[in-house]
Amino acid sequence: MNRTVLEVALSSTMREWAAEKTENHVKGNSFLKSVDTHHSVLCGYLGEAAFQHVFPQAKHIDVSKYDFLLGDEKIDVKTWWSNVKPLLSYYVQIPTVDLVRGAGLYTFTCVLADHSKAFLVGWIECDEFRTSADFRKKGTRRQSHPRITYTTDCLEMQILQLKDIRDLISLEKMLEATP
């Protein structure tokens, strides 16, 4: 199967937008002021900036239940950071506490730790993810990579199991053509 991992160069404008959103998000919330959490929030907004770049018709909602509206589809952008471009054999995860939201679709984006690039790796309907992904218990080790210990209860699946990001781009083009 010929799959696409879409690479997006993160511009200074995108990084500045994400930094401003992050600062506004963490103000007054002492839990979010740790360096690791602050970086994770920043990467989340960088993932949203990359999504908006690829899907300019999507309306950024910025509510706790989902991030974008693309036509009638409510989309939650799930982002993680890494030092390397993700391979199709890598896994995506969503902590179980984040599953009860209001989105209809999840998209998955990886941001490089230096904030230079983002990779849109795929998408899936939320209900399909909940039923198809594998449950992983906090504290257990990944069988395929025993050095990795799960830090929270989560659902996980391989990137290869996600739908190709090009299919979502096709959906956006159909929505643009609809009067």
Residues in the chain: 179
Residue with tokens 């199709």: 88
Confidence of residue 179 (pLDDT cuts 50, 70, 90): low
Q: Is 13 domain-assigned?
A: yes
Structural domain includes residue 179: no
Give the number of domains in the chain. 1
Percent helix / strand / coil, the chain, rounded to 5 = 35, 30, 30
In 3D space, the residue among 137, 134, 124, 111 whose CA is nearest the CA of residue 164 turns out to be 124
Instruction: Name the residue among 90, 83, 88 with its Cα closest to residue 142.
Output: 90
List pLDDT tens digits, range 33-86.
555 577 788 999 999 999 999 999 899 986 778 899 998 899 999 999 999 999
Comparing CA positions, the residue from 52, 49, 44, 10 lying closest to residue 25 is 44
Q: Is residue 38 part of a domain?
A: yes
- pLDDT tens across 123-154, in order? 999 999 999 999 999 999 887 778 888 888 99
Residue 1 domain flag = no
Residue 137 forms part of a structural domain: yes
Query: What does each C-alpha distance from 49 to 33, 101, 106, 142, 151 come to in angstroms?
Result: 22, 21, 15, 31, 27
Reported as type and span, the H/E element at residue 170 is: helix 165-177
Would 178 be classed as within a structural domain?
no
Task: State how far the alpha carbon of 68 is from the alpha carbons of 74, 107, 120, 129, in Å.
Answer: 6, 10, 15, 18
pTM: 0.88
Tell me, yes or no, whether 112 lies in a domain: yes
Residue 106 lies in a domain: yes
Give the structural domain span for 134: 6-173
